[in-house]
Amino acid sequence: MLTTTDSAVVSAPQRFLSRRGLLGGLAGLGAIAAMPGPAQALAGTREWRLAIRNVHTNESVDALFARNGQFVPEGLAELNHGLRDWRTGEATVMDRKLLALLVSLRRTLDVGDNRKIDLISGYRSPKTNAGLRARGGQHTGVASQSQHMLGKATDIMVPGVSLDRLHGAALALGGGGVGFYPRDGFVHVDTGRVRHW
């Protein structure tokens, strides 16, 4: 599992001149191996950028979160804020595998790096999650132990891309859970175990 101190997780093997560099490089390669297949496919990419727009607040974030195999703390902080619980304002450290999965999904759909993904829900505080469950009962699809509460899930749509196509691309990547909500106008993607509904 990645932590906030992981840094060299998105680059291909590089020549290191010091023992510390070598050990850091090996740790980075191990982190890549732990990431889902889509993230491994992006390992040689020099820059990882994610652009999102919260449909509830109309706030947008376009953040470079990794460059040349190193996470960019400012970009990660922007995304953590942009993916926060919009109802309470609470934020968490979002799973870096999820960020990589969203980048890979956008590239699979062949939409530009600056094309914003519309965010319906990112991080969900336990209070928000409990409120949504209470409002809709057991049949709303709001899990009591939701991946949203772990910073490992988003509910999204991509303007100009049909939900069917988005859903198919998410399933094909096999990066975790995929939920299809055509009536509500979004697709759920998470980095939990691979499953679909």
Region 121-149 average pLDDT: 78
Question: Over 80: is that where the pLDDT of 43 sits?
Answer: no
SS3 80: helix
Question: Over 60: is that where the pLDDT of 127 sits?
Answer: yes
Question: Over 90: is that where the pLDDT of 9 sits?
Answer: no
Predicted local distance difference test score (pLDDT) of residue 159: 95
CATH class of 47-196: alpha beta
DSSP for 84-133?
Answer: S-TTT-------HHHHHHHHHHHHHTT--TTPPEEEEE----HHHHHHHH
Threshold 0.85, pTM exceeds: no
Predicted local distance difference test score (pLDDT) of residue 140: 57
| 70-101 pLDDT, tens digit each | 999 999 999 999 999 999 999 999 999 999 99
| Residue 132: HSE in the Cβ half-sphere, 13 Å Cα cutoff | 20
Predicted local distance difference test score (pLDDT) of residue 8: 34
Distance from CA of residue 77 to its chain's centroid? 13
| 147-197 pLDDT, tens digit each | 999 999 999 999 999 999 999 999 999 999 999 999 999 999 999 999 999
Say how far apart CA 174 and CA 83 lie, in whole Å: 22
